Amino acid sequence: MSAPSPYQNQPHGYPPPPGGPQRRPQASPLRGLIAAIVVLAIFGGGAWYVYKYNTDPNGGKAKAEASQSAQVEEDKTHDPQEGDCVKIEGTKEDPLPTIVECGSSEAEYKTGERLFGPGKECPAKYNYGIQYSSNRGADYTMCFTKV
């Protein structure tokens, strides 16, 4: 009878790996803590940036919205409606009516009617007219009387 083989209990009769079974090295708690801090710092920094971008009145979305709101208000001062008093600024080729108080010394004209359509002329009862033309086909003439 022959001696039992030392590889008998091994699967498929192969010898065991050298140095015994391999064990995974243990992860240190410090390594996990550092990884958690890095992840929190990245997400925290991103959240802070988004918050500041959307709420800071000196920049970001809030500044853009304030600028747009200011532009809308500025545009309203140059879009007189019938009955508004205006002073005419700009050049003769590019006049810009600016709404002013009717009792002020700046008031030059009172806004009359708007005549829609290209090339319209103001009736004789008006002293001054400004023709506007846009790319969107919103052509009109604003008519004014002297104050």
Q: Where are the domains of the chain?
A: 31-74, 80-146
- Say yes or no to pLDDT of 10 above 60: no
pLDDT score at 83: 93
Is the pLDDT score of 84 beyond 90?
A: yes
Q: Is the pLDDT reported for residue 55 higher than 90? A: no
Q: What is the Cα–Cα distance from 129 to 79, expressed in whole angstroms? A: 14
Model pTM score: 0.51
* Dihedral sign from CA coordinates of 89, 92, 75, 62: negative
Give the integer Cα–Cα distance in Å for 79 and 95.
Answer: 12
Paired with 142 in beta bridges are: 114, 130
* pLDDT category of residue 42 using cuts at 50, 70 and 90: very high
**pLDDT at 125 > cutoff 90:** yes
Give the single-character DSSP code of 113. E
Q: Using the predicted structure, report yes or no on whether residue 146 has a pLDDT greater than 90.
A: yes
Please give the residue that has the higher pLDDT: either 53 or 98.
98
